[in-house]
């Protein structure tokens, strides 16, 4: 099965919605669940925000273990696929538009790694989270460990990954794993409204600069990131100034 059968894409105005669509559990059949270059294409077409969500009751129950077992015969191929999955999640994490995970039901393993790659996470009151990999003597293989540690701190990350226990939405909020908990039927509308509200009046280059700056904090020192902010600020200011000149203002 290829990724096209297990995801669907739609757009609401300038907000793209990528739906994991492999019901009922929305298992990720391959790690690169949506082609990275195709996602890049969508961005090039000018979307200002992205929502990742699951079709039906669940976000995603994670990787399909049966699939993994089958693939293990061809370890090189599997390794390549996993690398491509990692690249997709890193691509999502460093996107220069805000990316939001709208989570209902199960959000496990690889599914949780997808959610952690997003910039904002909103979930339903009945959502459940877990990294169950350890129960099969595995661990999150798509960069989820680092992302979890960044969000929750090392102690919580260790506990969640080594225990492999299920946690509910309330606990997830307490651990900063999600940013907002809402009644199930409000989750999707909230996500769309949130992204529309914050991007509506903003030119794409301003959105891109803000997101780039926030992403810089991950791989640069504070001072270096601020220096980049200054550069981006000047670029935007120059464009605004030139625009003002054209309109006869000074």
Partner 1 sequence: MVKRETEKKSLISWTVEQDIGFLVLDNPPGNSMTALFFDELKRLTTAITQSHIKALIITGRGRHFSSGADLESLIAAIKTDSTGNGKPMKEAKAMLLSHVLTFEFFSDLDIPVIAAIQGVCLGSALELAMHCHFRLCSNDALLGLPETGFGLIPGVGGIQKILQLSGKAKAIELILKGSNFAAADACKWHIADALFPKKELMEKAVQLAGIAVDGYRRYKKAEYLKRLTQPMTPA
Give me the residues that bind partner 1 (CB under 8 A), please.
Answer: 98, 119-121, 176, 179-180, 194, 197-199, 201-203, 206-207, 209-211, 213-214, 217, 222-223, 225-227, 229-243, 250
CB of 110 to partner 1, least distance (A): 21
CB of 130 to partner 1, least distance (A): 21
Q: Which is nearer to partner 1, 71 or 90 (CB)?
A: 90
Q: Which is nearer to partner 1, 6 or 199 (CB)?
A: 199
**Looking at the DSSP assignment, which residues form a beta bridge with residue 20?**
7, 54
Q: Which is nearer to partner 1, 170 or 227 (CB)?
A: 227
Q: Which is nearer to partner 1, 162 or 234 (CB)?
A: 234
Catalogue the E-assigned strands of the chain. Answer: 7-12, 15-20, 49-54, 99-103, 106-108, 120-124, 128-130, 167-168, 180-182
CB of 155 to partner 1, least distance (A): 16
CB of 239 to partner 1, least distance (A): 7
The values of phi and psi at residue 75, to 5°, are -60, -35
Question: In a 10 Å sphere around its CB, with 0-12 CB exposed, 13-18 middle and 19+ buried, how is residue 210 labelled?
Answer: middle
CB of 250 to partner 1, least distance (A): 8
Q: Which is nearer to partner 1, 8 or 221 (CB)?
A: 221
Closest CA to 121 of 112, 108, 110, 134: 112
Closest CA to 20 of 91, 95, 101: 101
Q: Which is nearer to partner 1, 137 or 247 (CB)?
A: 247
Q: Check whether the bond before 24 is cis (ω within 30° of 0).
A: yes
CA 250/CA 244 separation, integer angstroms: 6
CB of 243 to partner 1, least distance (A): 8
CA 8/CA 186 separation, integer angstroms: 21
């Amino acid at each position: 099965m290829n990724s096209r059968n297990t995801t669907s894409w739609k757009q609401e105005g300038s907000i793209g919605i990528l739906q994991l669509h492999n019901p009922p559990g929305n298992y990720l059949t391959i790690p690169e669940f949506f082609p990275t270059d195709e996602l890049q294409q969508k961005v090039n077409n000018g979307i200002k925000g992205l929502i990742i969500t699951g079709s039906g009751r669940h976000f995603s129950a994670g990787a399909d273990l049966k699939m993994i077992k089958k693939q293990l015969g061809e370890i090189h191929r599997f390794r390549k696929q996993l690398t491509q999955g990692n690249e997709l999640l890193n691509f999502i994490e460093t996107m220069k538009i805000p990316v939001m995970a709208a989570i209902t039901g199960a959000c496990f393993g690889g599914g949780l790694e997808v959610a952690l790659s997003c910039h904002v996470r909103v979930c339903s009151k009945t959502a459940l989270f877990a990294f169950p990999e350890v129960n099969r003597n595995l661990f999150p293989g798509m960069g989820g460990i680092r992302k979890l540690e960044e969000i929750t701190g090392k102690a919580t990350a260790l506990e969640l990954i080594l225990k492999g226990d299920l946690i509910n939405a309330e606990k997830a909020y307490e651990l900063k794993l999600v940013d907002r908990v809402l009644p199930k039927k409000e989750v999707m509308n909230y996500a769309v409204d949130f992204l529309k509200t914050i991007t509506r009046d903003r030119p794409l280059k301003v959105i891109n600069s803000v997101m780039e700056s926030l992403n810089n904090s991950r791989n640069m020192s504070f001072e270096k990131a601020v220096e980049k902010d200054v550069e981006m600020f000047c670029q935007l200011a120059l464009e605004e100034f030139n625009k003002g000149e054209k309109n006869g203002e000074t």
